[in-house]
């Protein structure tokens, strides 16, 4: 069993369908920007994610500053700094993170880069 199925996610457009599908296939509640409106602004994504208690998974570096400045970090952000990683590699990384750290992610700003996960309050 992988991670904490109570986590709910809002997956940004740049993350990819592989991650979206893997999350769904493994029992997570997932909403996807691509399915709602691929042109949503970052602020709109955060404002939609918060009332639903969804952690945003994104590749967009602007989310951290935006969330902190607007006080919109409540559900959390998982920033994937995985330039050049294949869809399958992204899935393996997400699986590893959720298996090992799911109980520590909610409401936090988390950054994955070069095989390292940083979790900030």
pLDDT over 90 at 31, yes or no: yes
pLDDT over 80 at 74, yes or no: no
**Cα gap 34→1, rounded to integer Å:** 27
pLDDT over 80 at 118, yes or no: yes
Q: Cα-flanking dihedrals φ and ψ of residue 85, to 5°?
A: -75, 140
**Cα gap 97→115, rounded to integer Å:** 10
The average confidence (pLDDT) of the chain is: 88
Token pair 């939609």 is found at: 48
CB 94 within 8 A of CB 49: no
Give the Cβ contact number of residue 51 at 10 Å: 9
Q: Cα-flanking dihedrals φ and ψ of residue 114, to 5°?
A: 50, 45
Q: Structural domains in the chain?
A: 8-120 (3.40.50)
Interval 53-66 mean pLDDT: 88
């Amino acid at each position: 069993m992988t991670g904490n199925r109570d986590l709910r996610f809002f997956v940004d457009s740049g993350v990819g369908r592989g991650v979206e599908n893997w999350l769904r296939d493994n029992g997570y509640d997932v909403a996807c920007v691509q399915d709602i409106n691929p042109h949503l602004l970052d602020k709109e994504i955060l404002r939609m994610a918060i009332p639903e208690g969804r952690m945003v998974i994104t590749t967009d570096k602007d989310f951290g500053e935006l969330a902190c400045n607007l006080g919109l970090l409540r559900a959390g952000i998982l920033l994937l700094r995985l330039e050049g990683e294949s869809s399958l590699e992204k899935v393996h990384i997400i699986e590893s993170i959720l298996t090992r750290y799911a109980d520590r992610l909610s409401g936090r700003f988390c950054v994955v880069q070069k095989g390292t996960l940083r979790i900030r309050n």
